[in-house]
Amino acid sequence: MVFGIISILCILLVSLRLTFGRYVSRLSEGRRGISAENIRAYAGWIYRWKISFLKNERWTKSFAYFFNWAQKNYPGWQVWVFYFMGVSYFYLAFSGFFFSWFVSRGLYGFPLLLHVACGAFFALSLTAVAFLKARFYLPGNIKSETNSQTSGGFYCLLLKRSFPRIYLQVVAFWLFILAGFFLILSTLGSMLPYFNYPAQTLFFNLHRWSALVSVVSAILGIDSIID
């Protein structure tokens, strides 16, 4: 119950913060900030954006943007590693949080078996992505990427200034990798017959909270790749 409430609020607040920051960054310098006028305008902006997904062309453009980004950043065979990770992760996140929020019994039956199977695909593909892309998010590459970026991609409301998008991408990438590592570790630990009940409870809670961190980092990552 507590985890369900916290996870819903956390995902909702992060999504609202990112979308509001994206809206404010499009305004003129003098109008940027938190105000009643901006909040009302933001509500209308986000409503129109969500309504646009009732049209097929919005979905077509969104999928086209996603596939183009994936093929550009994961050339050749690497894109299939990214697709495997994306598809398996989508089911893991959806099934895990859906059953956590709406089914008192939790995840069970065939959805649980599929969850475990997708977990294996996710573990392999996440490891491959870490080996393929980790070097791009090290300090040297971050500095060169920052110097090559002409405009900021992440607007900070408190400091009232934009920061290079690579900063948000770095945070999202390493949080996602770290959370994924704890997800894999907690899953393996819960499957081994060497741990008692308190340890199993620890692994269960570690898995749930790592999943929440993983979803938040995925939201940050998706926001960071959208122009």
Task: Return the residue matching tokens 């607007």.
Answer: 155
Helix 109-133 / helix 78-102 crossing angle, nearest 10 deg: 140
Tell me how far apart the alpha carbons of residues 158 and 153 are, in angstroms, rounded to a whole number.
15
How far is it, in rounded angstroms, from Cα 217 to Cα 179? 9
C-beta of residue 137 within 8 angstroms of C-beta of residue 178: no
Residue 60 has pLDDT above 80, yes or no: yes
pLDDT exceeds 90 at position 183: yes
The SS3 assignment for 33 reads: coil
pLDDT of residue 152: 53
- Report the alpha-carbon distance of residue 220 to residue 161 in Å, rounded: 18
- Indicate the domain borders of the chain: 2-225
Q: What is the CATH number of domain 2-225?
A: 1.20.950
Most trustworthy range by pLDDT among 47-56, 129-138, 173-182, 186-195: 173-182
Phi and psi at 45, nearest 5°, equal -65, -45
Average pLDDT, integer, range 111-140? 91
Amino acid 160: pLDDT: 66
What one-character-per-residue DSSP string does 34-100 give? --HHHHHHHHHHHHHHHHGGGSHHHHHHHHHHHHHHHHHHSTTTHHHHHHHHHHHHHHHHHHHHHHH
Angle between the N-to-C axes of helices 197-225 and 2-25, in degrees from 0 to 180, rounded to the nearest 10? 10
> 149: Cβ–Cβ under 8 A, 6 or more apart, which residues?
164, 165, 166
Q: Give the best-scoring range by mean pLDDT among 55-59, 108-112, 125-129, 139-143.
A: 125-129
Contacts with 9 (C-beta within 8 Å, 6 or more apart), sequence order: none
